[in-house]
Structure 1
Amino acid sequence: MVQGLHSELSKLGQEIEQLWAPELRGASDEATFFAAKGKVLDILNVLYGEKSREFRVVKLTSSPATVVKVVNHVMRKSDMNSPSSKVVNL
């Protein structure tokens, strides 16, 4: 289940990343961003809870760049905790 959430989070991060350029953002892009941000919050809530730093940062921001940074942080963190990286780190 967690792997599926990470996969979905990664896709959402890519979707949000395409919305970075403020001059290219229109009303529909803004709606897309807030919908994607809501999904990211749902996933972060399941993974870490509402009191986590990751959840709070995403909840309080209206910046696609910040959301993408948090998503990338979560993905790197999960990669570091994967069984294959634990073996390498031993």
Structure 2
Amino acid sequence: MDLLKLDKVFLVGGSMGSYVAQGVAITAPERVEKLVLVTPKSNGRTSSMARLFSEHAEELKGMDTQAKVQHVSRFMFHNLSLVEKWMRHVQ
């Protein structure tokens, strides 16, 4: 944030990034306007993505990683079309 000269941010952390985002929010709460955690992992030994891939192995057969992630995204987001719209906007 310092390198980018950002004083206060809307911070989004997904999966492992949710740990990083939480760490930033705990360390410098005055610099985080909003905190959004996507598929955060609070406990367990298996990553959420690995679990989804395992539970849907038959459906995912033959897909590359990007296609697998796209396929299981419907289980991660309430409104996937809004997420896709936002992703196009920020790229």
Same fold, judged at TM 0.5 (above): no
Return the structure number with greater helix share: 1
TM-score computed with the length of structure 1 as normaliser: 0.24
Query: TM-score under structure 2 normalisation?
Result: 0.23
Structure with higher RCO (Cα < 8 A, 6+ apart): 1
Radius of gyration: which is bigger?
Answer: 2
Bigger strand share: 2
